[in-house]
Amino acid sequence: MQAIQVFAEHYNYVVTIFLMMAGLYIVIARGNMIKKLIGLSIFQTSVYLLYITPAKIIGGTAPILDPAFKVYSNPLPHVLILTAIVVGVATLALGLALVVRIKEAYGTVDEDEIFAKDGEQ
Amino acid sequence: MALMTLLAITTIAIVRQRNLFGVVILAGIYSFLMASVLIVLDAVDVAMTEASVGAGISTVVLLGTLHLTGGLELERPRRALLPLFSVATVAAVLVWGTLSLPPFGTADAPIHKHVAPRYLEKSVEETNVPNVVTAVLADYRGYDTLGETAVIFTAGIGVMLLLRRGRGRRKPDGAADDTGAAK
């Protein structure tokens, strides 16, 4: 009984970790570079959840001050993650530009084929 | 909680899908689900950014890349066991680590004790902005945001340089292409 309660109280963290590991698995096990980048951004979004989840207070509202409300969620993680989202899309765009260049140079975006072509030279 | 489960299911679909076009669309769905979760968690500003940047710009950029590179992931009978094992190990360690975190949504968790109350109490008086997230982002942590814009600027320049170089190098022979790839 207690185990179920602990699990429910930490359910958000469990899903966050699941997303994180799914992203990591894509990065490790899939050869396609675009798929790898999507895995990387899944990992990144799971980190957003990891930061935002503890900021929530049950019964609180969004941190926009108003006399009608007393309890607010913690605004600081929100600020940090806003920055992280924008930086994340910047790195994604840079990575994809690199993928386009790799495609032009090697004719493929698959890791194994690129390694094979490197071995031939 | 249901939204979180949906998020997990979408992720499984992303892992299994081989058609990259499908993966990109699933990633867009994932971003919108993430935005909904963030709204439920009271992070409205973050949700707005995630919906516009994560589901909007990212999807457009990914589709553009697919247009340039082609959209099917190769099937490969590959050592899936070792990655799976290492990922499971890391997951177990992380779950074990989070079990000692304070339960979800408690008001007296340590995270709510330090800087946040000060921002909530003083920000209107000091900055005149009712939205505390905006006040902290643009005012208390203005240099942080300046650094962020510098990062985006650098990334933008990088993308432009990479793509322009590609177009300039396509005409001459393969030797020039190799130096471009080495960089």
The pLDDT tens digits for B59-96 are 888 888 888 887 676 666 566 788 888 888 888 888 88
- Cross-chain CB nearest to B58 (options A9, A92, A113): A92
Q: What is the interface size between A and B, counted as CB pairs within 8 Å? A: 269
Cα separation, B23 vs B11, in Å, equals 10
| A31·B162 Cβ contact <8 A | no
Q: Which two tokens stand for residue B73?
A: 């992931």
Residues of B in contact with A2 (CB under 8 A): none
CA torsion A31-A35-A39-A42 (nearest 10°) is: -170
Residue A1, min C-alpha distance to chain B (Å): 16
Q: Residue A69 phi/psi, 5° resolution?
A: -120, 150
- Cross-chain CB nearest to A94 (options B102, B131, B158): B158
Domain limits, chain A:
2-59+71-120
Q: What DSSP string describes B73-135? A: PPP-----HHHHHHHHHHHHHHHHHHTTSPPTT-TTSGGGTSHHHHHHHHHHHHH--SBHHHH
What pLDDT score does B154 carry? Answer: 92
A59 touches B: beta carbon within 8 Å: yes
Cβ–Cβ under 8 Å, residues A38 and B26: no
Q: Which two tokens stand for residue B88?
A: 């499971």
Residue A30, min C-alpha distance to chain B (Å): 9
| A82·B130 Cβ contact <8 A | no
| B101·A54 Cβ contact <8 A | yes
- Closest by CA to B130, choosing from A75, A17, A81, is A75
Residues of B in contact with A64 (CB under 8 A): 44, 130-133
Q: Which domains does chain B have, with CATH numbers?
A: 1-73 (1.20.120.1200)
A7 touches B: beta carbon within 8 Å: no
> Is the pLDDT reported for residue A105 higher than 60?
yes
| A41·B177 Cβ contact <8 A | no
ipTM above 0.95, yes or no: no
pLDDT digits (tens, 9 = 90+) for B114-169: 777 777 777 777 777 778 788 788 778 888 889 889 999 999 999 888 888 655 55
Residue B131: CB atoms within 10 A of its CB come to 18
Indicate the helix (H) or strand (E) that contains A69.
Answer: none
> Is the pLDDT reported for residue B28 higher than 60?
yes
Check whether domain A2-59+71-120 has CATH 1.10.510.10, yes or no: no
What pLDDT score does B77 carry? Answer: 58
> Is the pLDDT reported for residue A96 higher than 60?
yes
